[in-house]
Structure 1
Amino acid sequence: MSSIQNGSDTTLASFIWKNADDLWGDFSHTEFGRIILPLTVLRRLECVLEPTKDAVLNSYDQFKDQGLNMDDILTNVSGNPFFNLSNYNLSNLGGTNTKANLEDYIAKFSDNVRIIFEQFDFSTTINKLSKQNLLFRICNNFAAIDLHPNVVSDRTMSNVYEHLIARFGAEVGTGSEDFMTPRDIVHLAATLLLDPDNELFEQKQGLIRTIYDQTCGTGGFLTDMMNYVEGYKDRYEVAPVLIPYGQEIQPETHAVALGSMLLKKLETDPSRDLSKNIKLGSTLSNDQFSGQHFHYQCSNPPFGMSWAKDANLVQQEHDEKGLLGRFGAGLPKISDGSMLFLQNLISKLELPNNGGGRGAIVLSGSPLFNGGAGSGESEIRRFILENDLLEAIIALPTNIFFRTGIGTYIWLISNRKSEQRKGKVQLIDATNMGASMRKNEGNKNKFIDQNAIDDITRIYADFEESPVSKIFDYTDFGYRKVKVLRPLRIDLQFDKEKLALFKESKDYGKLSDEDQKQLSAYIEQQFGQSKDYLWFENEFLKKIPVKKVNKGLKNALIAAFGVKNPEAEIIEINNIVQMDNDLTDYENIPLKQDIQAYMEKEVLPHAPDAVIDTSYIDSKDNQVGVVGYEINFNRYFYVFEQPRHPNDIMAEIKELSTEVAKLLGKI
């Protein structure tokens, strides 16, 4: 737990490992998380309820038979959007009827807490602990530690949850990296997302805004964003208010997020149950916020996750709703759903006439360039760029996530760009801004410290060119994929081997036995000859002993006996130049460049007979060439390094050879 960074580090680490030691031997390592995680949530909720627990029980006894709405009364007395009516807690379960007493304790929570433990399948955990005679001991362990939010902050608690999942196995969900976003990434994204609105927050103090995380995991992104704006109290009398919304696919992590949100309070509405805004289900195929829009969004969808399970409903929405739905721009390859989450985020931006919305989403490198012109990925990028929705992309250091060392990027999406950013995209290279960690956590050996967060935010806000900041017109990322044709130039050569090849063709096989016999004899008469194509058209085909020479048979003859000859004459049939399919090529020509000028400079000097296929057009603008977009990050920040001089290399080799000779001499 060394990465939990506040005064509770040592206490929490010792506590977690104490429970792990007690479980060792009776439970497998991968079961520890399923036991410790729900009990951690339970103890945190219990700590919050302790000050008003007796008052809640008294109020229940006083009003229970009066036909009143008890939930409203009890949450008001509790001072929280949840309560418990059991006389038990983790410290008084007793050693003889521990299981029954704990079950009574859980059953008498308000509905919004009970659902948490149902999703944890906590009854199974209770039974397993009881069977191994460990239930009383583990409950006592938890009763002894104070996990109240005033003692253990939201961020520290979020780290506890995530590290429990990371350390004690991927049995919670299908890979904990799917929902674990390191706190430094969360803090950076929150800062980039909210910092541009500082002036707005100052002008409209107490402004209420919505925040949505489509893959909310344990709720770390949401709680950090809420905590971030609470820090505005230092500057203004009244801080902005963020109302959280989120969706999570894994029941266990959804349960943790519910627990976290039960403890979050809005100063303007302290009794509001924010956990009701955290929904369970697949965002892609079971959108729980259909038609809703949000002022801010934050998201770290799983990298490289297949969307096969969602495919039918996603395809249906794409086909039936088009751009009126979430996925109208395009569908990526089934193996990676990242760009579906990107489109979902865009679809939920608050409408411009309501102030617009901004979003920060963490993605791997593949959405930058995967898929060529006309592909689903390229069309999604095209939609984003041509609708001016991309503000900036920040390249993060490698080895900054727990389970992967791949390159990652924060995309900043907005439908309310400032005037200077309109039509522009800023790329920021922060790959060298990571600080080294004292101890690796899986693949994570780098983190973005506060100094780096401040630097990146300043670079973003300044919106100026520098070695680590590049600004582009959105069209700089676009190109047209133009189809380039070359004329067919062949001679006809006849020999035994080519005749055998021709006889294997399906068109030869369709001929009658008599036609086959006569045609073979006719071709054998040509053995040893090499003729040009005009001879083939004007003499060979006219004398061929076959009742009818259709197009298929003609093409089969050309395929078998034709031999490429760059010096041969261009072939025309009915005044139409015949093209060589084998020489067909494609050129990606930048959008800002004239196609003909590009051909004259880059293609015709090498292939003077090349022509553009004017029938190969874009389906949207009907112009020649299919439009594509890609953002080749490395190209824009590449710095040439002068190779070492060969003499320097040879001198070093000689020096090393001398050292090796000395060592061998000693042996």
Structure 2
Amino acid sequence: MNHQSLSAFIWSVADLLRGDYKQSDYGKVILPFTVLRRLDCVLAATKPAVLAEFEKRSGEGLNPEPFLLRAAGQSFYNTSPMDMAKLIGDSDHIAHNLYAYIQAFSPAVRDIFERFEFATQIDRLAKAGLLYQVAEKFARIDLHPGSVDNHQMGLAFEELIRRFAELSNETAGEHFTPREVIKLMVSLLFVEDDDLLSKPSVVRTIYDPTAGTGGMLSVAEDYMAGLNPTARLTMFGQELNDESYAICKADMLIKGQDVANIMPGNTLSDDGHPTRKFDYMLSNPPFGVEWKKVEKVVRQEHEGQGFNGRFGPGLPRVSDGSLLFLMHLLSKMRPASEGGCRFGIVLNGSPLFTGGAGSGESEIRRYLLESDLVEAIVALPTDMFYNTGIATYVWIVSNRKPAHRKGQLQLIDASVFWKKMPKSLGSKRREMSDEDIATVTRLFGGFEAAQLATVTDAQGKEVVREVVVQGEFPPAAPEGGKVRLKPLSRLFDNEAFGYRTITVERPLLDDQGRPVVGVKGKAKGRPMPDSALRDTENVPLAEDVETYFKREVLPHAPDAWIDESKTKVGYEIPFNRHFYVFEPPRDLAEIDADLLAVTDRIKAMIEGLAA
């Protein structure tokens, strides 16, 4: 059963709820019941052994938990003789039995259903006379991992959450990230880790501070298992939304991960892993969401701890907290002396350029680039996410850059690699294929400049697209056709994104047009500046300020000078500017000929109608 048919079957439960529940509340019933049935199926085979062990160890007066976990073969268990099949065999006592069944799970599982506030829904369904019918529906579904693997189950959860979010007018994209975006990020993370790819029984840690339903962690584990089946990835995460946290925790339980590594709460104000460092990290923080609720705590850490805390480089404007998550990840990097760390984070366009020299955003970019931490920034296609169609970028950050990447930043424009989806999902209308992901990964791994050659025939129809690495020759144009070249991968020195903002002053003039001179202190004998004529210039770091000033300013304002006390260093990454290709407009005669042809065709149609 694929995830679409599975989610459609589960969704049919909504027909029972219609009228007694608002559409926006369907998820409060369907999600916890789905998790319950999944856990029920997972434990079915070992149920008799667990019950026997429970009776034996309880009779001996021993703590039964370690024996039960071993008997269950999982990191959780249930000590009730009930299961979902037996529950529906006693319709008169279904509420009491269901509640007792949930209480018989191990503590980590009980926490999942507390996060769902499932007891409240049991009472509500019982009062509406629906509890038996809903339980009976779910008892019929086979959600055993042998029938529905973890990957399919994860996709089904995401599909359900997306549909419930649409019904309740919430933002589905806050809960999960499209799988192909995660695949791209994971492949970029692992592409240069030879030990991970080849060394037997290697162990690595991975962390997601905005874990959602655990999709990023799950894809990372699946990807690594495909590369090196003997390797083990220990997962850590934190999630604010209770429902997403509960699903993530359930998924980790079934995978055999330590669910104590998945923490609830707000990552920015209450770090769930304050002392840990990680080998890999992934994150898709919410775009453009203000952080006013946690402003007091964040500012206290910034001002009180500086670089000993998480937010030393600076603070972004309160209207967008995505760079706070980036700095949080910086603080979690395993030191380079212990093997280092690489992480990927999805951000919108504003962190690339928002804020002038000296602003919080600019200071964060300055810290990243002057510390040589950013390996690459990859532009994704628009319309890739469920809740927004805006441009998004994957930042790859590492404190263990290989020698050939030192001091440089790679920009990759992957916005051209997409195909249209057969059916839109919210704002998501496009997706990247496995071939697209492989191409982008190859560009990153090769660390080479490259162009995209688009070949069109005489009619202007695209014939082929080909990636042309620096040093290679582009394909030849067919007769009457063209070859258009567009930058795809570019390499820059870190310093190329830095600049100095200089303040240019002009003298204040009196009524006779003479400069007004200062009479006190340091300004004594010097011309006073006219604030109305004050201006600023951005000078690239690679260029000498005086040389720039003499060339660009003095020819137009011979009396100007630089107020050096106001000079600030800034950094911005104008991504689109580096990939813009000017296309000259069509020849006017060609446009006139097209217009004339269209006009003649319209006239002929009108004459035909008149006749």
Same fold per superposition (TM over 0.5): yes
- TM-superposed CA distance for 1:645, in Å, is 1.8
- TM-superposed CA distance for 1:418, in Å, is 0.2
Find 2:382's aligned residue among 398, 409, 426: 398
Structure 1 residues 481-522: Cα deviation after superposition (integer angstroms, max 9, x where no partner): 10011112353xxxxxxxxxxxxxxxxxxxxxxxxxxxxxxx
Structure 1 residues 94-120: Cα deviation after superposition (integer angstroms, max 9, x where no partner): 221111111111111111100000000
Find 2:403's aligned residue among 419, 422, 428: 419
Structure 1 residues 604-656: Cα deviation after superposition (integer angstroms, max 9, x where no partner): 2222222111221xxxxxxxx20100001001101111111222223333344
Query: Matched residue of 2:13: which SS?
Result: helix
- TM-superposed CA distance for 1:572, in Å, is 2.9
Query: Matched residue of 2:75: which SS?
Result: coil
- TM-superposed CA distance for 1:242, in Å, is 0.7
User: What amino acid maps onto 2:165 in structure 1?
Assistant: G
**1:330-349 correspondence runs (5 A):** 330-349=314-333
Q: Distance in 2 between matches of 1:427 and 1:144?
A: 51
Gaps of 5+ in 2: 452-487, 520-524
Gaps of 5+ in 1: 1-6, 266-272, 492-531, 533-567, 617-624
User: What amino acid maps onto 1:397 in structure 2?
Assistant: P
Conserved in 2, the CA contact under 8 Å of 1:173 and 1:250?
Answer: no
- TM-superposed CA distance for 1:171, in Å, is 8.4
Cα gap change, 1:573/1:325 in structure 2, threshold over 3 Å: closer, same or farther?
closer
Q: Distance in 2 between matches of 1:60 and 1:152?
A: 29
Structure 1 residues 323-380: Cα deviation after superposition (integer angstroms, max 9, x where no partner): 1110010000001110000000011001112111110111111111111100000000
Matched, 1:433 2:417: yes
Find 2:176's aligned residue among 167, 177, 180: 180
**1:461-500 correspondence runs (5 A):** 461-467=445-451, 468-491=488-511
User: What amino acid maps onto 1:473 in structure 2?
Assistant: D
User: What amino acid maps onto 1:589 in structure 2?
Assistant: V
Q: Which residue of 2 aligns with 1:8?
A: 2
Structure 1 residues 119-148: Cα deviation after superposition (integer angstroms, max 9, x where no partner): 000011112221222111111111111112
Find 1:151's aligned residue among 144, 147, 154: 147
Q: Distance in 1 between matches of 2:149 and 2:185?
A: 20
**1:328-407 correspondence runs (5 A):** 328-407=312-391
Cα gap change, 1:321/1:173 in structure 2, threshold over 3 Å: closer, same or farther?
farther
Conserved in 2, the CA contact under 8 Å of 1:47 and 1:148?
Answer: yes
Counting matched residue pairs gives: 566
Q: Which residue of 2 aligns with 1:191?
A: 187
User: What amino acid maps onto 1:405 in structure 2?
Assistant: G
Query: Matched residue of 1:92: which SS?
Result: helix
Q: Distance in 2 between matches of 1:286 and 1:248?
A: 11
RMSD: 1.7
- TM-superposed CA distance for 1:10, in Å, is 5.3
Q: Which residue of 2 aligns with 1:302?
A: 286
Cα gap change, 1:113/1:161 in structure 2, threshold over 3 Å: closer, same or farther?
same
Q: Which residue of 1 aligns with 2:250?
A: 259
Q: Distance in 2 between matches of 1:152 and 1:642?
A: 55
Q: Distance in 2 between matches of 1:95 and 1:47?
A: 21
TM-score with structure 1 length normalisation? 0.82
Larger Rg: 1
Find 1:569's aligned residue among 505, 514, 520: 514
Query: How much identity, in percent, do the aligned residues show?
Result: 44
Query: Matched residue of 1:22: which SS?
Result: helix
Q: Distance in 1 between matches of 2:169 and 2:191?
A: 34
Q: Which residue of 2 aligns with 1:247?
A: 238
Find 1:283's aligned residue among 267, 288, 293: 267
- TM-superposed CA distance for 1:154, in Å, is 2.1
Q: Distance in 2 between matches of 1:285 and 1:9?
A: 36
Q: Distance in 2 between matches of 1:225 and 1:466?
A: 28
Cα gap change, 1:291/1:363 in structure 2, threshold over 3 Å: closer, same or farther?
same
TM-score with structure 2 length normalisation? 0.90
Q: Distance in 2 between matches of 1:331 and 1:224?
A: 32
User: What amino acid maps onto 1:368 in structure 2?
Assistant: L
Q: Distance in 2 between matches of 1:332 and 1:287?
A: 19
- TM-superposed CA distance for 1:212, in Å, is 0.5
Conserved in 2, the CA contact under 8 Å of 1:229 and 1:239?
Answer: no
**1:68-87 correspondence runs (5 A):** 68-87=62-81
Q: Which residue of 2 aligns with 1:513?
A: none
User: What amino acid maps onto 1:352 in structure 2?
Assistant: A
Q: Distance in 2 between matches of 1:244 and 1:224?
A: 11
Conserved in 2, the CA contact under 8 Å of 1:119 and 1:255?
Answer: yes
Q: Which residue of 2 aligns with 1:215?
A: 210
Conserved in 1, the CA contact under 8 Å of 2:4 and 2:156?
Answer: no
User: What amino acid maps onto 1:609 in structure 2?
Assistant: D
Conserved in 2, the CA contact under 8 Å of 1:172 and 1:252?
Answer: no
Find 1:63's aligned residue among 34, 57, 63: 57
Q: Which residue of 1 aligns with 2:474?
A: none
Cα gap change, 1:382/1:10 in structure 2, threshold over 3 Å: closer, same or farther?
closer
